[in-house]
Amino acid sequence: MKYDAVVMGGGLAGLICGIRLTQSGLSCAIVSAGQNALHFSSGSFDLLTHLPNGQRVEKPLNALEKLSELSPMHPYSRLGKLSVIKLTHLAESLLQQSGLKLKGSSDENHDRITPMGHKRLTWLSPDCVPTVNLHHKMKFGKIAVVGIEGFLDFQPQLVADELKREGLHTEAHYVHLPLLDRLRENPSEFRAINIARWLDRPENMPQIVEEISPLVADADTIFMPACIGLDNETPFLELQKQLGKTIYLLPTLPPSLLGIRLHETLLRQFRRQGGILMPGDKVTSVNCVGSRIESVNTRNHGNIALKASQFVLATGSFFNNGLVAEFDRVYEPLMNLDLCDIPPRAQWTNTEFFASQPYMSFGVQTDSQLRAQKDGQTIENLYVAGAVLGGFDPLTEGCGAGVSLISGLHAAGEIIGYFEQHKAEQVEVTQ
């Protein structure tokens, strides 16, 4: 099997790369072993919310120079300010073209409301999530925060109390919903996704409306856990219409309905453009000749190799086995690629729980074009994208999705450039 490009890993980085490649008419296969970080995410995308020195960032693109000074190995610093700005704008338009309804802009971060009722800086948020522009007051009128009886992953009282501290008029309620009684019998099954499977059925809508209506009669706005609209927004929009009030959804503990919906939308776009997805498959070995990869083998394809001119490594961090930590060593399991400087074992973690944890920025070492290196040598046709990259801390710097999108699009841009040059050279030869 031969493709123009093979992408290893189908999380946010691999998918955006595949979408850009197929949009340009290149053939692309994504091999993806399992779930990805989107399934566990808030559904909001962070670009850059804090500098490594802890300073809060309101305008992420204006902070890139300072970031380069403080953190020269950060993927944004490696790519350079102009490139990051261009790729950020490309990401915004590609996400929109893929069908995602997101609000926010790279000109200025906004605050989203967390499931605890706190405000948290971010770049892009799904339309249905409550957000507030910086330096603006929250304007939601009288809010009814409605939890679902027995659903422990969302506590309406916590949200309401926090919003009250912000001076908002808020009340907490629980809705019983008898249609969930069977599910409620098993607390480990009583999770956002399983609840959504029941709430999304059109025949259940009258009961949901009947139970929620009296609780929210005098509210202007409803805040609910994100447990409705798993496949698409239709059930959420219908509930909003029938209750006659604006509803906002707050992310829940994983699995995250908002994140899964983002992932499914991006997958559909990749497939619509002719991309080949190999879900549940895993790259098991990489075959190199000199400083180039020729092909990869996967668990499901046995000895039938996937060949390509260009490859992308987007296998995620420790969370998805893109990196592996043993007691005294960290390694990249597919090719044993070079990693950014790893300090001695005692310095992997910081005893202060909320401080930046050094292990968060462990990852693959690259050249300035984000191509992987092994034994100090660049692998010419292997780009690295997303959480497997080293040199940044997605949590304390608030840049996880941004790094995945920008490095994924950078890899795609380099690969498109390679094929354009190749084509031009062929035309020259035939003339």
Ligand X SMILES: Cc1cc2nc3c(=O)[nH]c(=O)nc-3n(C[C@H](O)[C@H](O)[C@H](O)COP(=O)(O)OP(=O)(O)OC[C@H]3O[C@@H](n4cnc5c(N)ncnc54)[C@H](O)[C@@H]3O)c2cc1C
Distance from C-alpha of 227 to C-alpha of 197, rounded to nearest angstrom: 9
Q: Which is nearer to ligand X, 37 or 144 (CB)?
A: 37
What's the min distance (Å) between Cβ of 102 and ligand X?
A: 12
Q: Which two tokens stand for residue 431?
A: 């003339």
* Nearer CB in complex with ligand X: 353/431: 353
8/196 with CB nearer ligand X: 8
Residue 325 phi/psi, 5-degree rounding, is: -115, 130
Binding site for ligand X (CB under 6 A): 8-14, 31-34, 36-38, 40-42, 44-46, 282-283, 314-316, 319-322, 334, 386-387, 394, 400-401, 404
Identify the burial level of 118 via C-beta atoms within 10 angstroms of its C-beta, where 0-12 means exposed, 13-18 middle and 19 or more buried: middle
Nearer to ligand X, 310 or 404 (CB): 404
Using an 8 Å Cβ cutoff, are 142 and 245 in contact?
Answer: no
Nearer to ligand X, 69 or 319 (CB): 319
CB of 32 to ligand X, least distance (A): 5
309 vs 404, which CB is nearer to ligand X? 404
Q: Which helix (H) or strand (E) covers residue 277, if one does?
A: strand 276-279
Round to the nearest angstrom and report the end-to-end CA distance of the chain.
31
SS (H, E, C) the chain: CEEEEEEECCCHHHHHHHHHHHHCCCCEEEEECCCCHHHHCCCCECCCCECCCCCECCCHHHHHHHHHHHCCCCHHHHHCHHHHHHHHHHHHHHHHHCCCCEECECCECEEEECCCCCEEEECEEECCCCEEECCCCCCCCCEEEEEECCCCCCCHHHHHHHHHHCCCCEEEEEECCHHHHHHHCCHHHCCHHHHHHHHCCHHHHHHHHHHHHHHHCCCCEEEEECCCCCCCCHHHHHHHHHHCCEEEEECCCCCCHHHHHHHHHHHHHHHHCCCEEEECCCEEEEEEECCEEEEEEECCCCCCCEEEEEEEECCCCHHHCCCEECCCCEECCCCCCCECCCCCHHHCCCCCCCCCCHHHHCCECECCCCEEEECCEEEEEEEECHHHECCCCCCCCCCHHHHHHHHHHHHHHHHHHHHHHHHHHHHHHHC
Q: How far is the CB of 259 from ligand X (least distance, A)?
A: 7
**Of the two residues 126 and 400, which places its CB atom closer to ligand X in the complex?**
400
| Mode of pairing for the β-strands spanning 371-374 and 125-126 | unpaired
CB of 211 to ligand X, least distance (A): 30
CB of 71 to ligand X, least distance (A): 17
Are 376 and 289 in contact, with CB atoms under 8 Å apart?
no
- Judged by CB, which is closer to ligand X: 99, or 280? 280
Of 104 and 156, nearer to ligand X (C-beta) is: 104
How near is the Cβ of 31 to ligand X at its closest, in Å? 5
Q: Select 95 or 144, whichever has its Cβ closest to ligand X.
A: 95
- Quote the least distance from Cβ 40 to ligand X, whole Å: 4
Q: Supply the minimum distance, in Å, between the C-beta of residue 161 and ligand X.
A: 23
Query: Closest distance between ligand X and the C-beta of residue 176, in Å?
Result: 30
Q: In what order do the strands lie in the sheet with 170-175?
A: 170-175, 143-148, 221-225, 246-250
What is the nearest approach in angstroms of ligand X to the Cβ of residue 335?
10
Residue 207 CB, shortest distance to ligand X, in Å, is: 32
Query: Closest approach of Cβ 13 to ligand X, in Å?
Result: 4
Q: Which is nearer to ligand X, 160 or 314 (CB)?
A: 314
User: In the complex with ligand X, which residue's Cβ is closer, 41 or 365?
Assistant: 41
